[in-house]
Amino acid sequence: MRTKAPLLAPIFRSDGQARLLSVLILSRDELSLTDLAERSELAYATTHREVERLLNAGILTERQVGRTRLIRANLDSPLLEPLRKILLVTSGPVALLSEALADLKGVKLAFLYGSYAARLQGAEGPPPQDIDLMVVGDPVMDDLFAICDQVEANVGRPINPTILSDDEFRKGSRFLEHVAAGPIVPIIGEVPWR
């Protein structure tokens, strides 16, 4: 089933196509169709159709290893760098924060909320001006802010981290009730409200 064009980047034909390209172009990984479908959160048949379109356009390449087709971004395509820049701004925050925060000690839970998360989830509204990040745990603050600064430089939007201890998160607040009522995008761990 075809999904609507993503609100943050309506130049892509569907949200699924944008997710698939994000996985391949931002990670520069070479993946089987099955792994690509899983990482893109798409049905296998949808992944197969999108990959065929993108192979025909020269944006992706493939190689056969036994019976497995391995797919990757075509590093020789003149479209690759412009697409990478667009994807960094639209879906890059999730990929880049996931990778960077996975290595940061003390982070038990991290997720996006607010207008950026809402647009990623398909909610109509004006383009987000910033990215709201909730981090639960006890990371080294300087390291967390350095990660946010680095990702911010790549995606072109300020990242505003809110850091709560485990106790503060469990205790809750009106602010957390408000956050829980809106769209969220998981980065690290499972958000208890989903």
Average pLDDT score over residue span 2-22:
68
Strands 107-113 and 159-164: unpaired
pLDDT digits (tens, 9 = 90+) for 116-142: 999 888 888 888 899 999 999 999 999
Across the chain, mean pLDDT equals 89
pLDDT reading at 7 higher than 90: no
pLDDT reading at 191 higher than 90: no
Strands 131-137 and 159-164: parallel
Average pLDDT score over residue span 57-72:
94
Name the band, by pLDDT with cuts 50, 70 and 90, for residue 11. low
Q: How far is the C-alpha of 91 from the C-alpha of 22, rounded, in Å? A: 7
The percent of residues in the chain predicted with pLDDT above 90, rounded, is 62
Least confident of 24-33, 69-78, 91-100: 91-100
The percent of residues in the chain predicted with pLDDT above 70, rounded, is 94
| b (16+ CB within 10 A) / e for 109-126 | bbbbbbbbbbbbeeeeee
Average pLDDT score over residue span 78-91:
86
